[in-house]
Structure 1
């Protein structure tokens, strides 16, 4: 299995269950990793998953506000697999920095691991 990953993608977005979260927004950190079977040495970009393509998927999904972080990671995972059908496993982690919980919390986190 060959794994391609992007770690610690920082983006400002408007995801959240409460109305004020969709107005004020927040900083998020995204990690994505995808794995696929390598049947030969990879010597061309079309034989692998382009991490620039993964970044654009993350960027696009993050621009669409969702009430639940679970929806965001599901959307990312689905979009990555649709673009790169060779993916057999994906792990998407989304952290919301300093969520508005009334106390000091570094981040909330949702991780989705899927096998295809």
Structure 2
């Protein structure tokens, strides 16, 4: 896996969505802002040589997966949200060998200042793909 994680990747940073994920009733009723980052490891050499979109995965296609999950059916845990994003990306895009998903909540009721609190998961095709 370490070798996979050192290769080429698509990078999506700072995606923001309003969703209704959380355990508390007010999170489910009012919703809140979520921040999402995704890395998708895949070989980008063919696309680099050809300059052809068909030799890669479009950033917008990955963005659509994230948007559908984040703005879709509510989940109690960010772990579940991140898992669904990761497994969907791996199943929809066979070129992707591994994916890192970070989901954060910037508005969390804690004593003290924070940028956000959240989770980060890494899944790869050989052990992390669950369709």
Specify if TM > 0.5.
yes
Number of equivalences: 116
Cα distance in structure 2, aligned partners of 1:33 and 1:104: 27
Cα distance in structure 1, aligned partners of 2:76 and 2:109: 14
User: Which of 16, 23, 47 does residue 17 from structure 1 map onto?
Assistant: 23
Bigger proportion of residues as strand: 1
Specify every segment of 5 or more residues in structure 1 that has no aligned partner in the other structure, as ranges.
Answer: none
* Within-5 A mapping of 1:81-92: 81-92=90-101
TM-score, normalization by structure 2: 0.81
What is the DSSP-based 3-state SS (H/G/I as helix, E as strand, rest coil) of the residue aligned with 2:83? helix
Bigger proportion of residues as helix: 2
Q: How large is the Cα RMSD of the aligned pairs?
A: 1.6
Asked if structure 2 preserves the Cα contact closer than 8 Å seen for 1:42 and 1:48, the reply is: no
Runs of 4+ in 1 over 6 A off after TM superposition: none
Shift of 1:34: 0.2
Shift of 1:106: 3.2
Specify every segment of 5 or more residues in structure 2 that has no aligned partner in the other structure, as ranges.
Answer: 1-6, 126-131
Higher deviation after alignment, 57-66 or 96-105: 96-105
